[in-house]
Structure 1
Amino acid sequence: MSAEAVGRHMPTVITLDDLTAMMAADEHHRYEISPEGVLSVMPPAGYTHAIIATRLMGWLLAAGIPADRVAQAVGLRIPGVTGGVGGRIPDLVVWSKPQAESVWLPVADVLLAVEIISPGSAAMDTAAKPAEYAGAGIPQYWTIDQDPGQTVTMYRLDGTRYQAGATMPLAWVLNTAPGEHGLD
């Protein structure tokens, strides 16, 4: 299908309901939208990406974080500074308490959002999303590179911006307790 054919059927303004319908109709892509209305279309995660997310989730669960406070690839409502609402799908989210069933969850109780950087998402994961997550008040943001060490960079919210903290291989993180990183 051509871009012209797709564009002809695209709504003028895309809502979170539109994104939900797009994802239901297309299991081969992940759709997100910035609070300003910029649509992003990404291919599904690859094997290495999925294994990193699974290892991190297993670590959290084994450390006693309740399963209803951790989720992979769940939608978050990201409020914008101009009143718009975006929808982002972090690779992993940790909440301070269980959430109500919804496609797009609020960010109020999010303790940590994690993005595993894929070749096509590096700019989004290191520039756009950190700014949006910080603006939404998410206290911690981690990125994980798919390099040989699977390098984790941990950011903490300092006012309205993230400050880079520790950077270490994922294997090292998995040998610590989540409480050491503020995830109790």
Structure 2
Amino acid sequence: MMSAEAVGAGMPTHVTLDDLAAMAAADENHRYELSPEGVLSVMPPADPDHAPLVSRMFAWFLANGYGPEQVVTDCGIDVGGGRVPDITVWAKDLPPRAARSSYAGTVGLLLAVEVVSRGSEVVDRIIKKTEYAKAGIPQYWFVERDSTTSVHRHVLNPDTAEYEQVPGGAQPLAWLLSTAPDIS
């Protein structure tokens, strides 16, 4: 086991997105994210219940005409910090492109989806929602791992630059997967 002093000695005083990318590349057992304020989050890999939810939604988008260059899993995006949504959906001719680092900019990004993980509930439900709205991402969905696997869909209000929940509120994932994606 490594001591906190040993880990801290190797840490830069100010973590950049390039530092974040290097940390993620060196450690495949954790997910690294950086808030716009510079707060570093190190999370364990997703648990076995998380991956099938992401896979089901990914397959749903593909089955409904979105190409693999449009629907991307675990793509780091630059929202003033570095976040890694579970799924991103991009405009047809605007796939992810590196911005000021190896993280993709938000040009062409239509939707960010997070499956709420144990331990990151507040980050997924509130903090990322605020960051994604500020970055101008048109839609943000988060998936709760509750009894119905509820999908909370939000659309950016251009007048307030805040997300508003889609009329009808949260819907079960099973219902969502029986419809066509509504992303403009």
| Same-fold call, TM cutoff 0.5 | yes
Normalised TM-score (structure 2): 0.91
1:37 and 2:33 correspond: no
1:182 offset after TM fit, Å? Answer: 2.4
Which structure's residues are more often helix, by fraction? 1
1:111 offset after TM fit, Å? Answer: 0.5
More moved, 129-138 vs 162-171: 162-171
Q: Aligned partner of 1:47: which letter?
A: P
Normalised TM-score (structure 1): 0.91
Matched ranges for 1:61-76 at <5 A: 61-76=62-77
% same residue:
49
Give the structure 2 partner of residue 176 of structure 1. 179
Give the structure 2 partner of residue 137 of structure 1. 136
Matched ranges for 1:87-106 at <5 A: 87-96=82-91, 97-99=93-95, 102=98, 103-106=102-105
- Poorly superposed stretches of 4+, deviation over 3 Å: 100-103
Q: Does the C-alpha gap of structure 1 residues 100 and 76 become closer, same or farther in structure 2, counting only changes over 3 Å? A: closer
Q: Find the residue that maps to 2:179 and give its secondary structure.
A: coil
Structure 1: segments with no counterpart, 5+ residues:
80-85
1:25 and 2:26 correspond: yes
**C-alpha contact 2:96 2:108 (8 A) present in aligned 1:** no
Q: Does the C-alpha gap of structure 1 residues 2 and 33 become closer, same or farther in structure 2, counting only changes over 3 Å? A: same
1:3 offset after TM fit, Å? Answer: 2.2
**C-alpha contact 2:79 2:132 (8 A) present in aligned 1:** yes
Give the structure 1 partner of residue 79 of structure 2. 78
Q: For the residues of structure 1 that align with 2:96 and 2:151, how far apart are their CA atoms?
A: 29
RMSD: 1.3
Which structure's residues are more often strand, by fraction? 1
Q: Find the residue that maps to 2:132 and give its secondary structure.
A: helix
Q: Aligned partner of 2:129: which letter?
A: P
